[in-house]
Structure 1
């Protein structure tokens, strides 16, 4: 039995899909913020607003631009807002997953040296977009199952 003065777990009573959406939103916010932190983002002096000329690398691996970081920040903020409801959380996971899968396809199709690479995405980022997109879609579909049956 829990002590009567025990701190309440903020996740208690929250639908699993809301917790999952919140976790992805926080992850995206973290990625967006870290993309602006010198040291965590290598070659920070080479960070550009947009385009393939940005030489900055988050964790020394993922090519980023200021626009790329801002996209993560905006998606994260939208995710936290939508995660307040079950329907919003599912919409965020499904919509965000679709967006990341489109970014994955874009990363496969675009010449990384061309101006079409507006977000400054390299192969590591392209495959991360696939991972994020697939995970968000799958969790949006399956984490919301129980709530839909009620």
Structure 2
């Protein structure tokens, strides 16, 4: 396994999201699958069962990519980072509406934006291959 910031970040963030997804089910007993409000993890982050499933799927995708190749980790970090960036922004407009099927709250938005920065930072900025060919003339 090669040392790669993208693989490391994908693996760590993936494992964290898998754990959060599993932990979330302890807080969403009795909450409808797509409820617009849900239980609070750590008393701060709101989740419903659909939100937990999303965390599990995203965590699994990141962890699998992190354990696979550098290019897979880079692509997955970039893609999921872009989705989290969009969700972090759009989420502010969903709270209090029937479209908030992930039971998002303000703390979730900032966590999603932070995740986006980490994942996009790695996906777009790390593991750049510099291949320069220099010719020597004598």
Equivalent residues of 2:84, 2:112 under 8 A apart: yes
Equivalent residues of 1:46, 1:56 under 8 A apart: no
2:40 paired with 1:50:
no
Q: Structure 2 length normalisation: TM-score? A: 0.85
Q: List structure 1 segments (4+ residues) > 6 angstroms apart after TM superposition.
A: none
2:83 paired with 1:99:
yes
SS in 2 for 1:63: strand
Q: Return the offset for 1:13.
A: 3.8
Equivalent residues of 1:51, 1:116 under 8 A apart: no
| Corresponding residue of 1:141 | 124
Bigger relative contact order, structure 1 or 2 (CA pairs below 8 A, ≥6 apart): 2
Out of 116, 122, 126, the residue aligned to residue 105 of structure 2 is 122
Equivalent residues of 2:45, 2:107 under 8 A apart: yes
The RMSD of aligned alpha carbons is 1.6
Out of 15, 23, 30, the residue aligned to residue 26 of structure 1 is 15
- Alignment gaps of 5+ in structure 1: 1-11
- Alignment gaps of 5+ in structure 2: 132-138
Q: Return the offset for 1:113.
A: 2.4
The alignment covers a number of residue pairs equal to 130
Matches within 5 A, 1:61-72: 61-72=44-55
| Corresponding residue of 1:9 | none
SS in 2 for 1:149: coil
